[in-house]
Structure 1
């Protein structure tokens, strides 16, 4: 829990009352590799803070898994669309490594947001970070070549290549595993 509180302190000061309320509201989860936080068709009712480990968000289209994001230490993760709207998720959240997460329900979070404006500010910052990542993914997919996307991955998030199977990296980049192999041989 200390890593979560320390992470939040990077973005804004929290009153001791807000810190205590957050500490009381999050529950620790320890999950194994390949377990799921969420499967498509289910409503996501929790926001998670990933203390250790890794996970991915992916869709299934025509029996093919399409990875569209990864989460690592100190990331807030959830199926944002489902969490915010209360509609069934169209994505799956699967752990890539054994992981320790902190979970808070939407109902509990909503109560805290009404009580503490500084927590509301922190949630806004988390949503802004998510939006920025989403927009970067969109721009990359629309305007960069596969080699440029791989080069950006190498320069900005090289740890992905060390921790994620290459098939999932290829899917994340929007290319086949064969294309990824050809690109990697040039770098």
Structure 2
């Protein structure tokens, strides 16, 4: 819980009263590797803080799995479309490792918004950062080469290369596994690790 509280305070300074009200509504949940946080067609009514572990969001397209995001320690995760609209999720979210999270329902967080404007401001900042990451990912996929995408991944998320199967990474980068293998080989020949 302390890890979460410190992380929240990095977004926005919260009063002790707001922290106490928030922690009263948080529930610790654990999942095993390969469990699902949410499956397509289900409504996601909670926002989660991933304290330990790893997961991925993916879609099915023509009987293929398309991985579109990963979550690791100290990140907020949910099926944002489902959580926001209260409609069935369009994606699956599956754990790649045994994981520990803190959950809060949308109903509870909405009550906290009314009671503590600082909580509302903090969640807005979290949403803004999520949107910026989404936009950056979209722009990168549109304009960067496979080599540039892989170099960015090595720079920004090197742990991913040790914790995520290569098939998921190639899907995430929008390239084939063969292209990923070729790019990795080129990086290794140039003296870059992974």
TM-score tier after normalising by the smaller chain length: over 0.9
The two structures have a TM-score, normalised by structure 1, of 0.98
1:125-152 CA-partner distances (Å, limit 9, x unpaired): 1101110110011001111111110111
Partner Cα separation in structure 2 for residue 15 and residue 53 of structure 1:
29
Q: Distance in 2 between matches of 1:155 and 1:74?
A: 18
Aligned counterpart, 2:88: 88
Runs of 4+ that moved beyond 4 A: none
Q: Give ranges in structure 1 of 5+ residues lacking alignment.
A: none
Q: Note the C-alpha offset of 1:86.
A: 0.8
Matches within 5 A, 1:52-63: 52-63=52-63
Aligned to 2:13: 13
Name the residue aligned to 2:191: none
Task: Name the SS for the 2:43 alignment partner.
Answer: coil
Could you say which residue in structure 2 is the equivalent of 1:140?
A: 140
Count the aligned residue pairs: 187
Could you tell me how far apart the structure 1 residues matched to 2:146 and 2:100 are? 33
The answer for the alignment partner of 1:184 in structure 2 is 184
Indicate conservation of the 8 Å contact 2:11/2:126, yes or no: no
How far apart are the structure 1 equivalents of 2:166 and 2:157?
A: 14
Provide the C-alpha distance between the structure 2 equivalents of 1:26 and 1:60, rounded to a whole number of angstroms.
32
Which residue is equivalent to 2:131? 131
**Alpha-carbon distance in structure 2 between the residues aligned to 1:115 and 1:44:** 23
Q: CA deviation at 1:15?
A: 1.1
Give 3-state SS (helix, strand or coil) of 1:76's partner. strand
Which residue number corresponds to residue 154 of structure 2? 154
Aligned to 1:30: 30
Q: Tell me the equivalent position of 1:70.
A: 70
- Superposition pairs of residues 94-133 of structure 1, within 5 angstroms: 94-133=94-133
Deviation at 1:84, TM superposition (A): 0.3
Structure 2, unaligned runs of 5 or more: 188-194
For residue 10 of structure 1, give the secondary structure of its aligned residue in structure 2: helix
What is the CA distance between 1:62 and its match in structure 2? 1.2
- Kindly provide the CA deviation profile for residues 87-139 of structure 1, in whole angstroms up to 9, marking residues without a partner as x: 11110010110000000111111111111011011101110111011001100
Measured against aligned partners, the alpha-carbon deviations of 1:6-40 in whole angstroms (never above 9, x if no partner) come to: 11111222111100011101100011101000000
